[in-house]
Chains A and B, each alone.
Chain A
Amino acid sequence: DQQVKQNSPSLSVQEGRISILNCDYTNSMFDYFLWYKKYPAEGPTFLISISSIKDKNEDGRFTVFLNKSAKHLSLHIVPSQPGDSAVYFCAAFRFISNFGNEKLTFGTGTRLTIIP
């Protein structure tokens, strides 16, 4: 059961334009959503997060939007730069308790290519 889904395996965007990466989820109990970026031969690197009680979070060129009724979130990158070319993973967790296992459930990733 894929609780977090990224339906676009790849996306190409011209440098300077907006990149929009999408993510859908099925588990309404998730408390936090996170985006990670992964370069080849490296581990995932945290980008930005959003609490389930918010609908937007912004950090520099990165903005995440959450639509709880649609169980959908998106990551906007503006303006896109060549260094943004990587695989982007959407992830989510449910808060259990102060000592609970907040394990991340990941989507399958979207490979973003920025065209110079």
Chain B
Amino acid sequence: DTGVSQDPRHKITKRGQNVTFRCDPISEHNRLYWYRQTLGQGPEFLTYFQNEAQLEKSRLLSDRFSAERPKGSFSTLEIQRTEQGDSAMYLCASSLGGGANIQYFGAGTRLSVL
């Protein structure tokens, strides 16, 4: 399977704990995106990487959130001091750019903060 993979698929944590999610994009894709989806809503943009450079962060991404993409390959999204409002599905997508810039999504990591 050469699609976008995300790990873990589910994460349950207690409020105040730190969590880290991983995304492995399609290997030749240089663009990587993180989105967050809550119940009844569409995915909302969080942050964007072009190769290893983080070029944009949404205002939704508070200081407790940090993302990296070392060497322009896999990416990690860390949430520090989790809050109940962080409970959501975190989706990763990758693309090649150009034309319709079709973004291919992983299955997501569902975070539940108790």
Contact = CB atoms under 8 A, between A and B. Distances in A.
A108 B40 CA distance: 7
Chain A interface residue bracket vs B: 20 to 34
B44 to A, nearest CB: 7
A79 to B, nearest CB: 25
B19 interface: no
B4 interface: yes
A105 to B, nearest CB: 7
Interface residues of B, number: 28
B108 A43 contact: yes
Contacts, number: 60
B33 A103 contact: yes
A29 to B, nearest CB: 15
Contacts of B50: 99
Nearest to A100: B55
Contact of B102 (A46, A89, A98): A46
Given A41-B107, A91-B42, A103-B56, 20 more contacts: A36-B105, A42-B107, A43-B4, A43-B93, A43-B107, A43-B108, A45-B105, A46-B104, A49-B100, A49-B102, A89-B42, A101-B48, A101-B56, A103-B33, A104-B45, A106-B43, A106-B44, A108-B41, A108-B42, A109-B41
Interface of A: 4, 32, 34, 36, 41-46, 49, 51, 89, 91, 93, 98-99, 101-109
